[in-house]
Structure 1
Amino acid sequence: MKQHLWINGQHIEAENYQDLQSPYSKELLAEVAIAGQDQVKAAVDAASEAIGKMNDLPAHKRAEILLRTANLLSERKEEAAAIIAKEAAKPIKTARAEVDRTVMTYTFAAEEARRLNGETISMDAAPGGENRTAYTVREPIGVIGAITPFNFPMNLVAHKLGPAFAAGNTVVLKPATQTPLSSYFIGQLFHEAGLPEGALNIVTGKGSEIGKYFTSDERIKALTFTGSPDVGKTLKKQAGMRKTLLELGSNSAVIVGDDVDVSKVAPRCVTGAFAYAGQVCISVQRIYVHENVFDEFVQKAVEETKKLKFGNPLDEETDVSSLISGDDVDRAISWIKEAAETGAAIACGGKSEDNQIVLPTILLNVSSDVNLSCQEAFAPIVIINSFKDFDEAIEEVNNSRYGLQAGVFTNQVDLAFQAAKALHVGGVMINDIPTFRVDHMPYGGVKDSGFGREGIKYAIEELTELKLISFNHTKL
């Protein structure tokens, strides 16, 4: 099939198309349109012209459209999950969970659309403010350029579209090259739900070219991007005065104290490390375990890892399937070899199989200066090191260019509060893995993990302008 662009409520043909294959089976899924500059401009034209239509929609109408979209997606859950499983090689049971989360994300957006409130300002709190009443309102910022990654092709798109539409904005969406079908599917659902034509436009093609257009067209008032730090930094430099919301990389860490039940903590960490083959921004990549329970923790973690089943993402039993590309497989294996050559022990995994599958890998006693310690693996690889002092563990977690989320397992309240204060990250999960996320919580990082926060309420704040209105009561 040919997948055309989606502009101004219509499928628009492009001059060129490229083949989209399943990462696992290499099956041809579609021929996907490559947008030229004229098509990207047409998408921005449509989004700009639709601002008036969105502004005319009262909050309850925007909420109804978002809720109808959530309901339509829920009704077509299996179809949506199959699209994700095929184009992203995400195990079908994990794909279903993503669809469920996406439904919830749009539901939260519908609720937030109804409570987009300002506040009353006590003007007479300052001398000269007497006889005045003032309040704030939040207004839509306008056209938003959104760029999304491959790993959550429906839910991370929802984290762009949901807040944007709840606030009354319009969007030009550029989905990941490997996973565009999920976005086009959602675009059709929004159309069926009654979203005004032009409010959502979807363009596929080369990310660098579309991103450059986004930063050159002054009608685009905000950029929201989830992806690599290097691309995010480039967009930020090019964005100028535009609002920019960046959700970038991580190499999330966990601290495991010696006072916890290792038989409960180790399986949780394995889940955080290997869900969707580690291709999650907040995958567990580094685990620091107290030396008193290190051997027991490693044993339990290896046991749990060996229970995982890998293979076809459409198989109901599959836990781990293909990485998104062959280049990612090569990089992952080279980083494992680098760590082993510098003294790390491979406790399990460490190699790849057919269909771009990297076996879930645990490495022990990994040097702090190799790629697996310093960079984002985005593969089913986790390192486990020991520590003696809690301060040492905190220092190791903070010894990173990233700071998205971290996890701490301890039953000692003083240590939990110490970690919550000392860890330089956007979110600290006490007695849980950093991979934990629910879709209404504030989510974002520090350092090279980006800035700004997602989570519907918080993203709406990023994608609106605050206006102050003040009335002077003096009769003129």
Structure 2
Amino acid sequence: MKSYDLWIGGEWRRAARYEPLYAPYGGDKLADIAAASAAEAEEAIVNAHEAFLSYRNMPAYKRAEILYQAAALLEERSEACIRILVQEAGKPVKAARGEIARTAETYRFAAEEAKRIAGDQIPMDAAAGGTGRIGFTVKTPIGVITAITPFNFPFNLVAHKVGPALAAGNAIVLKPAEQTPLSALFLADLFRDAGLPDGVLNIIPGGGAELSEILTTHPHVKGVTFTGSPEVGRIIQRQAGLRKVTLELGSNSALIVDEGIDVASIIDRCVEGAFVYNGQVCISLQRVYVHRSLYEEFVARFVRRTEQLQIGAPGEESTDVTSLISNKALQRIAEWVDEAVQGGAMLECGGMVLEHQILAPTVLTGVNPSAKVVAEEVFGPVVSIAPFDTLEEAVAAVNRSRYGLHAGIYTPRIDRAFYAAREIDAGGVIINDIPTFRTDQIPYGGRKDSGIGREGIRYAVEEQMDTKFISFKLQP
């Protein structure tokens, strides 16, 4: 059985401890993975800082060339990447193929942004005291970034941390999710072959509880970027203090289906948004509010399409829904569904726990708004549908959440679209599409318990840089 070491300072380092990694589907042991200690994490941070001192001076076009080359190599090695996603994340192969294509595009976006970093000229004579001076700003990399990433998009969400850091001229220490370390470790050889200097990228699998403090408090760490739960996000923010912090903390994304919409034309898209990768997506469609005039038709069509989804092994081309990431996640979600039903909800389809850690795609109606499947983030194949009478009522229901990442609305009326865009309290409002919509150049982040800061390469680069003001007095 293969074992994987730590990637520190441009070389593989043996760790003091290793942990077994098992496949979500079937439970086969995949490898033994190094589990970094706090001392080993500190070694990675020190190496990153030393590499940063020279990498920060690398010309932008060279940083861009490295990122372009990494994207090209990723595409060349895509079949190996897809196999990793199928095995360690249990991701259906067609979804895995899409993630790798997006990941290559994300690194290309990063390469492009490396060339666009620029400051501003300041009109100094706009103030009486500024006459006779020239002022301008420059953008400077901040230093070592530590990144803590989730399991659900272990290539592309890592790219949203690594790409901006490298584009900006920072060094990075990456701690991948404990369930999906192989996809992150794959990047070690890839970026070495792309020409990245040793030490700029360090990869240290390990436990979050053990590594969180060192990754957020070490003096060399100047920025922290994290995707995960609000509870962990709050801990990270407290630990990080005055450092720059970007937190993407999940959601229970909602969709409004307004009167006048052709229900048949949107059902496939809505079902996709609810159940792609088993609902293990931060902006998975979890709540649907349908105008009462369309409600019965929508529920009937949605249930019928959901029952047509194919359940099976992640390596099968036909599979739509497969294993959840862990038995713990499966049991939690099943308990939440049972709680909703006990509270009066109607189980329209699904709800069954199947072999191989699978929950059948589940549709609920009549759910109490306080039930966990509505109020919290399910992160599984469960969607709740409810009727509304007025758009104001629907928007209020969308906002009745501690989260605010993405929301969506289907409406044929532009005035109602703009009303929803203005009144919905979320980081993104998607008009005439599901809230699960995302491309990798858009500003992506939330409000309320969905986090702070923005990803999307240009915006993440800005989060990872400082602005320095420079003034010249023309007559000394």
Q: TM-score, normalised by structure 1?
A: 0.99
Deviation at 1:24, TM superposition (A): 0.4
Alpha-carbon distance in 2 for matches of 1:255, 1:273: 14
Look up the equivalent residue of 2:462 and give its one-letter code.
Answer: E
Q: Which residue of 2 aligns with 1:74?
A: 75
Write out aligned runs for 1:363-442 (5 A): 363-442=364-443
Q: CA deviation at 1:130?
A: 1.1
More divergent stretch after superposition (156-165 vs 45-54): 45-54
SS, match of residue 30 in structure 1: strand
Aligned partner of 1:172 in structure 2 is 173
Task: Please give the root-mean-square deviation of Cα atoms over the aligned residues, in Å.
Answer: 0.7
**C-alpha contact (below 8 Å) 1:53/1:196 kept by paired residues:** no
1:453 aligned partner: 454
Q: CA deviation at 1:14?
A: 0.9
Deviation at 1:213, TM superposition (A): 0.7
How far apart are the structure 2 equivalents of 1:169 and 1:4? Answer: 24
Query: In structure 2, the residue corresponding to 1:441 is in which secondary structure?
Result: coil
1:472 matched to 2:473: yes
Output the CA distance in 2 between the equivalents of 1:104 and 1:220: 28
Letter in 2 for 1:442: P
CA deviation map 1:94-122 (0-9, x unaligned): 00100000000000000000111111111
2:151 pairs with 1:184: no
Structure 1 residue 268, shift from structure 2 partner: 1.1
Q: Which residue of 1 aligns with 2:241?
A: 240
Counterparts of residues 10-409 of structure 1 (less than 5 Å): 10-409=11-410
Kindly provide the CA deviation profile for residues 399-442 of structure 1, in whole angstroms up to 9, marking residues without a partner as x: 00000000000011111010000000000000010000000000
2-structure distance, mates of 1:242, 1:334: 38
The Cα of 1:353 is off from its aligned counterpart by 0.2
Give the conservation status (yes or no) of the 8 Å contact 1:229–1:248.
Answer: yes
Q: What is the Cα deviation at residue 47 of structure 1?
A: 0.2
Deviation at 1:264, TM superposition (A): 1.3
Q: Which runs of 4+ in 1 moved over 2 A?
A: none
Identical-pair percentage: 51
Mapped partners of 1:453, 1:264: distance in 2: 32
**Counterpart amino acid of residue 447 in structure 1:** K
Q: CA deviation at 1:365?
A: 1.5
What is the rounded CA distance, in whole Å, between the counterparts of 1:461 and 1:55 in structure 2? 15
Q: TM-score with structure 2 length normalisation?
A: 0.99
**Could you report, residue by residue, the CA deviation over 1:130-188 in whole angstroms, capped at 9, with x for unpaired residues?**
11111111100100010000000000000000000000000000000000000000121
Give the whole-Å Cα distance in 2 for the aligned partners of 1:329 and 1:72.
36
SS of alignment partner, residue 50 of structure 1: helix
Report deviation, 1:253: 0.2
**Counterpart code for 1:59:** A
Task: For residues 331-375 of structure 1, give each alpha carbon's deviation from its aligned partner in whole angstroms, at most 9, with x where no partner exists.
Answer: 111111111111111111011100010110000111101101110
Unaligned runs of at least 5 residues, structure 1: none
Partner SS for 1:376: coil
Q: Partner of 2:407: helix, strand, or coil?
A: strand
For 2:38 and 2:447, locate their aligned partners in 1 and report how far apart those are by CA, in whole Å.
Answer: 34
Q: Give the drift of 1:56.
A: 2.7
What letter corresponds to residue 35 of structure 1 in structure 2? A
Q: Is the 8 A contact 1:279 1:380 kept in 2?
A: yes
Partner SS state of residue 110, structure 2:
helix
Distance in 2 between residues matched to 1:330 and 1:340, nearest whole Å: 15
SS of the residue corresponding to residue 394 of structure 1 reads helix
Q: Which amino acid aligns with 2:154?
A: P
Q: Is the 8 A contact 1:267 1:300 kept in 2?
A: no
Cα distance in 2 for partners of 1:134, 1:164 equals 27
Whole-angstrom distance in 1 between the partners of 2:232 and 2:156:
21
User: Shift in Å at residue 38 of structure 1?
Assistant: 2.0
* Alpha-carbon distance between aligned partners in 1 of 2:131 and 2:54, rounded to the nearest angstrom: 39
User: Offset of 1:37 from its aligned partner?
Assistant: 2.1
Quick one: distance in 2 between partners of 1:456 and 1:37?
A: 30
Q: Secondary structure at the match of 2:379?
A: coil
Match of 2:444 in 1: 443
One-letter identity of the residue aligned with 1:104: E
Q: Report the count of equivalent residues.
A: 475
How many Å separate the matches in 2 of 1:382 and 1:45? 46
- Where 2:317 maps in the other structure, the secondary structure is coil
Q: Residues of 2 paired with 1:119 and 1:352: CA distance?
A: 57
Counterpart residue identity of residue 181, structure 2: P
